[in-house]
Amino acid sequence: MTVSDVLLLGLGAVAVGAALLVVTTRHLVRAGLYLVVALGAVAGIYLVLAAELVAWVQVLIYVGAVVVLLLFAVMLTRAPIGPSEDLDRPGWPALLVGGGSGLGLAALLVDAYRWSTVDRDQVGDAQRLGTEIFRSWVLPFEVLSVLLLAALVGAIVVSRPEVGRARPRPPDRGER
């Protein structure tokens, strides 16, 4: 048991525990906040594994952007304070499905690796990742920009306000 083993175990426990709380709590906002904890713990695991860039990207994008977006969405749509009773659905099918898949995958991975070890010779810093991306994965990387462009266009198509009207009525009628 090295220090990193202990850290990994601890962070893993935090991640799983927080994830359980996300699905069991009746407070929508709290669920979002537990998500921060869970995703943050995963970022911690990356750090322990010396994948520093990935860890910070995780923090920036998931903890920073995604959860914030989620919380904003909750606030803008219903903004509940206190527990939401309609979230109370029988949980056992979900437990069966989620627990089953989780345990199954865990068993699969444990069985696959057993006690074999993997050398961790290089740290995952920004330079190494950048080199990899622009050497081996330059094409997928560039195509990702196309994907983002398509997503951008799609977001506009789906969500833009009413077009093609010469505004016969003032915009404060709530039609926009």
Residue 88: partners with Cβ closer than 8 Å, 6 or more residues away: 26
Site string (66-105) toward another protein, x via CB under 8 A: --------------------x--xx--x---x--xx--x-
Cα radius of gyration (the chain): 22
Q: Which stretch binds another protein (CB under 8 A): 9-17, 47-55, 70-78, 107-115?
A: 107-115
Residue 36 near residue 63, CB atoms below 8 Å: yes
- Nearest alpha-carbon partner for 45 in 4, 105, 106, 1: 4
Helix (H, G, I), strand (E, B) or coil at 6: helix
Residue type (1 letter), 85: E
Q: Is 168 in the site for another protein (CB under 8 A)?
A: no
Residues between 29 and 58 that touch another protein (CB under 8 A)? none
Nearer of residues 3 and 109 to another protein, judged by Cβ: 109
96: tokens are 């069966």
Counting contacts by CB under 8 A, is residue 169 touching another protein? no
Site string for another protein, 140-159 (x = CB under 8 A): x--xx-xx-xxx-xx-xxxx
| Distance from C-alpha of 81 to C-alpha of 66, rounded to nearest angstrom | 21
Sites of contact with another protein (CB under 8 A): 86, 89-90, 93, 97, 100-101, 104, 108-109, 111-114, 116, 127, 131, 134-140, 143-144, 146-147, 149-151, 153-154, 156-165, 175
